[in-house]
Amino acid sequence: MKLWGGRFSKSTASIVDEFNASIEFDQKLYKQDIIGSIAHGKMLCKCGILTNEEGKKIIDGLEEILKEIEAGKIEFKLEYEDIHMNIEKILTDKVGEVGKKLHTARSRNDQVAVDIRLYLKEEINNILILLKNLLASLIDMSKENVDTIMPGYTHLQRAQPITAAYHIMAYFNMFKRDYTRLEDCLDRTDYLPLGAGALAGTTYNTDRDFLAEQLKFSHICENSLDAVSDRDFVIEFISAASIISMHLSRFCEEIIIWNSAEFDFVEMDDSYSTGSSIMPQKKNPDIAELIRGKTGRIYGNLMNILTIMKSLPLAYNKDMQEDKIPLFDTVDNIKISLEIFKQMLVTMKFKKDNMKKATKNGFMNATDVADYLAKKGMPFRTSHAVVGKMVLYCIENNKNIDDLSIEEFLSFSDCFLEDILEKIKIENCIESKVSVGSTSKSNVLQMIKKGEEFLG
Ligand code: ARG
């Protein structure tokens, strides 16, 4: 008979058992389920709802079950539907009738909610560590590349010269926001739903503060109907993971481009590259591509959970059992992506000469020439047009701005002085960016210092 079978006169069809069950995937929550049940059992004793003797049998039984699961001695059964009822059944088989008292003042609705929150809190903390490791690697890379000159792009067209450290520190700031976004999400996940019962609370005089203390929750869900109904913390987490993925995918895309023969800015380490089964010469950036691909999968998970939760009436609905699939998949994939991305990055080498060479063409100092004229009093719009003419002249004569003689400069404007030839050197174009947050070395060093302070 099912644990809930009292009011049924017929057993469920076997196809229903199979369809209804979640044990195949929610067994991942066995530890959280047992820890939650132990806290619940202790609370029932503390409140005089169970005798100490009853409580001890239950708690000892649960602790034994935890060990047995970890030793691989337990086989979960589809007929007991989910992890919660499997463990309750195993407990009752082990400790006898008293095991049936564990579910007093509790529902699977608050039970599953607390399990998921316990799981997610732990995993967010794991992901925060991975993000911090990545941030630390970005700082190291930046420090090694404060003088590495490369083109900055807009529209993937050479725009203005920057340093690789500046480029990397842009990602540092993105991942730093991801970090704080996850911390915020952690705070909203850190609410205890246990004690909510099915939806309305319970007739027992329970102690939810004690439960929160036992299970290390900072807050208690204030409204029991809300406690069992919402999965917004799951949605928020997958949103934050989607944004992390989006950032990873942009960096991966750049690495893939930099790794092409056309760019040739980086050398990926052999240990983080793969070959082709037909073309012997190939060395492919599969790892970067796969992380980029995982982004689509994680976005799919976000759409999955958003759509599951859309329009569900309060409180619990069985639809919500499906929440674990996108959640677990997101946790697993964001973790491996962050880990492997960091490894791929720290083993990658910049081809500094090629990067610098790429700043020679593409008139990357044109804006600096326009600024030069504007500083001599010419309105910026006018100087923009003058330099536009100079660029056109250069294209027609197959020259760079740096190749022009002072006579050629003067033929476009008599505001030019000899110093223009020095001012338009790529190094000087970078160093002359004096505004706060710019690519000049002192600004980038400032960013690195702030980044190190953040990491502590
Ligand atoms: N396996 C269920 C889930 O994961 C547990 C909650 C079941 N509650 C219920 N009222 N049927 O959502």
Residue 109 in contact with ligand 1 by CB distance below 6 A = yes
Rounded-to-integer distance, Cα 266 and Cα 285, Å: 11
Residue of 112, 234, 323, 327 to test ligand 1 pocket, by largest number of atoms within 8 Å of CB:
112
**Residue 349's closest CA among 271, 288, 286, 266?**
266
Judge if the beta carbon of residue 82 lies within 6 A of ligand 1: yes
358-455 shares the fold of 5-104: no
Closest C-alpha to ligand 1, atom 3: 321
Query: Cα of 108 to ligand 1 centre, how many Å?
Result: 6
Residue 23 token pair: 């044990």
* Cβ atoms 218, 190 nearer than 8 A: yes
- 254 C-beta closer than 6 A to ligand 1: no
Ligand 1 centre and the CA of 420: distance in Å? 73
Q: What is the pLDDT along the chain (456 residues), one digit of tens a residue?
A: 788 888 898 988 989 999 999 999 999 999 999 999 999 999 999 999 999 999 999 999 999 999 999 999 999 999 999 999 999 999 999 999 999 999 999 999 999 999 999 999 999 999 999 999 999 999 999 999 999 999 999 999 999 999 999 999 999 999 999 999 999 999 999 999 999 999 999 999 999 999 999 999 999 999 999 999 999 999 999 999 999 999 999 999 999 999 999 999 999 998 998 888 888 888 899 999 999 999 999 999 999 999 999 999 999 999 999 999 999 999 999 999 999 999 999 999 999 999 999 999 889 999 999 999 999 999 999 999 999 999 999 999 999 999 999 999 999 999 999 999 999 999 999 999 999 999 999 999 999 999 999 999
Q: Which residue out of 76, 115, 318, 327 has the highest number of ligand 1 atoms within 8 Å of its CB and is therefore the one to mutate?
A: 318
115 within ligand 1 shell (Cβ under 6 A): no
ipTM of the complex: 0.98
pLDDT of 283 = 85
Q: Does any ligand 1 atom lie closer than 6 A to the CB of residue 114?
A: no
CA–CA distance, 141 with 150 (Å, rounded to integer): 15
Pick the CATH number of 109-140+161-356 from 2.40.10.170, 1.10.10.10, 1.20.200.10, 1.10.357.10: 1.20.200.10
Mutation probe of ligand 1 site: the residue of 82, 114, 325, 327 with most atoms within 8 A of C-beta:
82
318 Cα–ligand 1 center, Å: 6
Domain chopping of the chain, boundaries: 5-104, 109-140+161-356, 358-455
State the chain's maximal CA–CA distance in angstroms.
Answer: 101
Nearest protein Cα to ligand 1, atom 7: 108
153: enclosing H helix or E strand: strand 149-154
Q: Ligand 1 centre and the CA of 96: distance in Å?
A: 24
The response to whether residue 22 sits with its C-beta less than 6 Å from ligand 1 reads yes
Ligand 1 centre from 18 Cα, in Å? 14
Ligand 1 site, residue 54, Cβ cutoff 6 A: no
User: Ligand 1 in contact with 110 (CB < 6 A)?
Assistant: no
State whether the beta carbon of 166 lies less than 6 angstroms from ligand 1: no
Closest residue CA from atom 11 of ligand 1: 318
CB 345 within 8 A of CB 145: no
CA of 113 to the centre of ligand 1 (A): 9
CATH class for domain 358-455?
A: mainly alpha
Cα of 290 from ligand 1 centre, angstroms: 34
pLDDT at residue 365, as a whole number: 94
CA 112 to ligand 1 center in whole angstroms: 7
196 vs 142, 211, 233, CA distance in Å?
Answer: 50, 12, 17
pTM flag (> 0.90): yes
Long-range contacts of 69-74 (CB under 8 A, 24+ apart): 69/30, 69/34
Q: Whose CA is nearest to atom 4 of ligand 1?
A: 321
Beta bridge partners of 266: 350
What are the residue numbers of the active site?
A: 155, 276
CATH number attached to the domain at 5-104: 1.10.275.10
Is 316 a pocket residue for ligand 1 (Cβ < 6 Å)? Answer: yes
